[in-house]
């Protein structure tokens, strides 16, 4: 992985409904393995002469590759990603030798601040390390990634585990049977990291939610793995309050994800994204010069920034301008939340003398 202020790590990410599709794909073993194995290389840019001489069909294929690349761009090693990976690795070493009282990690923050990206990158990193250490144990399942469905019950959570592992779950199956099967497979396949996303969907204040939380606790006692949770404003969701919450809080470290302030990390993020563009007329450095503007447009939200830059890059290929300018960016809407905040800060800025 490269430095956050200079360069990117490669991994796919997507946006909008593609993002949902990506998450669905990650929550089953085959999709997860594909994600772990792939390190997509950005397509190369043809020299000017060759590019202008491309036939119609060749150009279509060439542009199609670049459009696909710009729809994903890359995963940048932001401070959050680095922290989550370092902490996660540290815990997984500590927990490896612990019989009980294993510790975990919670990622908490607003929507679209990069929580899912960070825990999936942690999972990917730990699985790659496991595969290097045990090259012959191809059947191992070192990492599990699940998302908690809305208003989750204990059984729904057990079924998510089973679904990831590809275990048959009949709706009428007894919950104890599902849990036993899941624990058995995890122990046999040396599962060492369990990432649970959308943890805010466990509503501890309700009886169903409390049972769902107990289910997770039971899994964490039976399976010798490190548990990592990610969710929207977990403190406010009540996951850490009450007796059950305090038990969780006592064993889990917390990483908070937030909007980026304007800092060297924000410029570093933009520089890494700009570096990954594959546009023929784009001058490197022109996007960085717009860092203040980009911060205002997106309120420093990484999700909004990615959406804006991906859209602008795609547009630049489609309309043939082959560069991202202030005008291109102006013509693209970010999400409603970021636009609203952006307008507020512009109005505020105008008011200040």
Ligand X SMILES: Nc1ncnc2c1ncn2[C@@H]1O[C@H](COP(=O)(O)OP(=O)(O)O)[C@@H](O)[C@H]1O
State which residue, 76 or 144, has the beta carbon closest to ligand X: 76
**Min separation Cβ 331 and Mg ion, Å:** 28
**Min separation Cβ 213 and ligand X, Å:** 20
State which residue, 62 or 229, has the beta carbon closest to ligand X: 229
**Min separation Cβ 202 and Mg ion, Å:** 15
**Min separation Cβ 110 and ligand X, Å:** 7
Burial group, residue 294, by CB count within 10 angstroms (0-12, 13-18, 19+): buried
State which residue, 145 or 161, has the beta carbon closest to Mg ion: 145
Residue 78's binding partner among ligand X, Mg ion, none (Cβ under 5 to 8 angstroms by kind) is ligand X
State which residue, 114 or 245, has the beta carbon closest to ligand X: 114
Residue 306's binding partner among Mg ion, ligand X, none (Cβ under 5 to 8 angstroms by kind) is ligand X
CB-facing half-sphere around the CA of 123: CA atoms within 13 A: 32
Return phi, psi of residue 172, to 5°: -85, -5
As a whole number of angstroms, the distance between CA 223 and CA 130 comes to: 17
State which residue, 116 or 153, has the beta carbon closest to Mg ion: 116
Six-digit token string for 353: 């003398």
As a whole number of angstroms, the distance between CA 285 and CA 271 comes to: 8
257 binds Mg ion (CB under 5 A): no
The residue range among 65-73, 111-119, 208-216, 261-269 that interacts with Mg ion, by the rule CB under 5 A, is: 111-119
According to the 3-state scheme, what is the secondary structure of 246-281? HHHHHHEEEEECCCCCCCHHHHHHHHHHHHCCCCCC
- Cβ atoms of 265 and 68 closer than 8 Å: no
SS3 6: coil
101 contact partners, CB below 8 Å, separation of at least 6 = 251
Measured from the Cβ of residue 1, the count of other Cβ atoms closer than 10 Å reads 16
Binding site for ligand X (CB under 6 A): 13, 15, 19, 75-76, 78, 81, 111-117, 257, 302-303, 306
- Cβ atoms of 76 and 118 closer than 8 Å: no
State which residue, 80 or 116, has the beta carbon closest to Mg ion: 116
State which residue, 115 or 296, has the beta carbon closest to ligand X: 115
The residue range among 11-19, 108-116, 249-257, 262-270 that interacts with Mg ion, by the rule CB under 5 A, is: 108-116
108 binds Mg ion (CB under 5 A): no
The residue range among 33-41, 109-117, 170-178, 260-268 that interacts with Mg ion, by the rule CB under 5 A, is: 109-117
Task: Provide the 8-state DSSP code for 193.
Answer: E
In degrees, to the nearest 5, what angle opens at C-alpha 22 toward C-alphas 16 and 26?
150
**What is the chain's alpha carbon radius of gyration, rounded to the nearest angstrom?**
22
**Min separation Cβ 150 and ligand X, Å:** 15
Residue 201's binding partner among ligand X, Mg ion, none (Cβ under 5 to 8 angstroms by kind) is none
Residue 114's binding partner among ligand X, Mg ion, none (Cβ under 5 to 8 angstroms by kind) is ligand X
**CA 283, 289, 295, 301 torsion: positive or negative?**
positive
| Binding-site string for Mg ion from residue 151 to residue 190, where x marks contact by CB under 5 A and - marks none | ----------------------------------------
116 binds Mg ion (CB under 5 A): yes
Q: Are strands 75-76 and 8-9 parallel, antiparallel or unpaired?
A: antiparallel
State which residue, 116 or 220, has the beta carbon closest to ligand X: 116
147 binds Mg ion (CB under 5 A): no
Which residues are paired to 109 by β-bridges? 232
Name the residues that contact Mg ion, by CB under 5 A: 116
């Amino acid at each position: 992985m490269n430095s956050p202020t200079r360069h990117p790590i490669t991994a796919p990410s997507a946006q909008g409904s593609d993002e949902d599709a990506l998450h669905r794909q990650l929550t089953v073993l085959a999709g997860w393995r594909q994600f772990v194995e792939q390190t997509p290389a950005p397509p190369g840019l043809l020299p000017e002469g060759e590019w202008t001489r491309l036939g119609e069909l060749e150009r279509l294929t060439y542009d199609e590759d670049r459009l696909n690349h710009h729809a994903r761009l890359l995963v940048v090693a932001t401070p959050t990603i680095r922290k989550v990976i370092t902490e996660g690795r540290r815990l997984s070493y500590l927990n490896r030798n612990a019989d009980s009282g294993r510790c975990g990690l919670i990622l908490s923050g607003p929507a679209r601040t990069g929580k899912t990206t960070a825990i999936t990158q942690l999972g990917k990193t730990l699985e790659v390390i496991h595969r290097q250490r045990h090259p012959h144990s191809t059947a191992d399942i070192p990492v599990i990634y699940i998302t908690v469905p809305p208003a989750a019950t204990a059984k729904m959570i057990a079924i998510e585990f089973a679904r990831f592992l590809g275990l048959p779950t009949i709706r009428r199956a007894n919950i104890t049977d599902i849990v036993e099967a899941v624990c058995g497979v995890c122990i046999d396949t040396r599962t060492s990291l369990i990432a649970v996303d959308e943890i805010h969907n466990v509503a501890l204040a309700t009886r169903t939610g409390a049972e769902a939380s107990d289910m997770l606790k039971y899994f964490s006692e039976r399976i010798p793995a490190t548990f990592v949770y990610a969710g929207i404003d977990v403190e406010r969701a009540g996951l850490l309050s009450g007796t059950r919450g305090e038990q969780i809080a006592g064993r889990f470290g917390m990483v908070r994800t937030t909007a980026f302030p304007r800092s060297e990390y924000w410029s570093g993020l933009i520089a890494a994204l700009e570096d990954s563009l594959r546009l023929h007329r784009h001058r490197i450095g022109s996007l960085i010069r717009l860092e203040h503007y980009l911060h205002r447009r997106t309120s420093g939200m990484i999700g909004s920034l990615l959406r804006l830059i991906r859209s602008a890059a795609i547009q630049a290929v489609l309309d043939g301008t082959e560069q991202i300018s202030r005008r291109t960016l102006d013509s693209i809407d970010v999400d409603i939340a970021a636009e609203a905040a952006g307008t507020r800060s512009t109005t505020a800025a105008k008011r200040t003398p």
